[in-house]
Homo-oligomer: A and B are copies of this chain.
Amino acid sequence: MLESEDMATEFTGTGDPARSMALLWRTPPGADSRPGPKTTLDVDRIVAAAVALADADGLSALSMRRVAAELGVAAMTLYTHVPGKGELLDLMLDAVLGELHPDERLLTAGPWRARLEALARANWDFFLRHPWALHVSTGRPPLGPGLMRKYELELRAVDGLGLPEVQMDLLVTLVNGFVRGTVGGVHEKAAAERVTGISEDQWWAATEPYVAQVFDAERFPTAARVGPVAGEELGAYDPRRSFEFGLARLLDGIGVLVDTGPAGLSAGGTPT
């Protein structure tokens, strides 16, 4: 095989949340002037270099050594400013999250459907711009200024609809989850193409004969009927189209909730 690009899902948290929070909020640790040589580096420069690298070459190209090299510095020097790669990823993520929703009014003014659509499209574009962000764990989110701002603005997109607070949170999570799921397709296609050097068309052209050889139309009648049509109309699998189609369905469904009111909640009650 050619390569195996690993879009690492890495983790936040050093076990020392204090250090992480101090870094995220750029709270300098101590006094104004202290002994020791002047630093040639700072957290912002490291984060900026790392983001640029990940944007350009993907998360698999993001190594401490490469970031250091980009900054003209030895690898271990980074560890003076950042506890490890995990924390660096958190800092990167919070940094780029901060650039989301530059025009706040798109989320806070107008009818709810337009606001939620703006939310979804902004996140879609965001993940296209920073595909690596998809693969940074959200299990322990970096509670920095970027994420806080995003959460606030996105909550405003579902505010004033008469929904209980819990449902506001659930709605934001739902739309974000949908975007995450859908945008993955674009990213993985692009990454596959970059890594293998083989275009989507080339790959399919090479693979299709073997599919034809092995595919049993009697066992898979529905696939035999739908597959070709979908393949031709969507170009095998068109994530952009999936996004538009899915978003419309999703907003329709949310509309049912908003119109009926929270009392008409048809599910989402107690788990198990």
Contacts and interface: CB of A to CB of B under 8 A. Distances in A.
A36 interface: no
Interface string A64-92: 00000000000000000001111100000
A250 B247 contact: no
Contact of A256 (B168, B233, B252): B252
Nearest to A160: B222
Contact of A13 (B13, B83, B203): B203
Interface stretch (A40-48, A95-103, A261-269): A261-269
Given A15-B198, A214-B21, A189 B2 contact: no
Contacts of A3: 11, 86
Contacts of A138: 184-185, 188
A257 B256 CA distance: 12
A244 B135 CA distance: 24
Given A5-B9, A242-B177, A140 B268 contact: no
A253 to B, nearest CB: 3
B220 A152 contact: yes
Interface string A145-158: 00011011001100
A15 B27 CA distance: 49
Interface of A: 1-15, 17-18, 21-22, 25, 27, 83-87, 135, 137-140, 143, 148-149, 151-152, 155-156, 159, 164-171, 173-174, 176-182, 184-185, 187-192, 195-196, 198, 203, 206-207, 210-211, 213-215, 219-223, 225-227, 229-230, 233-234, 237-238, 240-242, 244-257, 265-269, 271
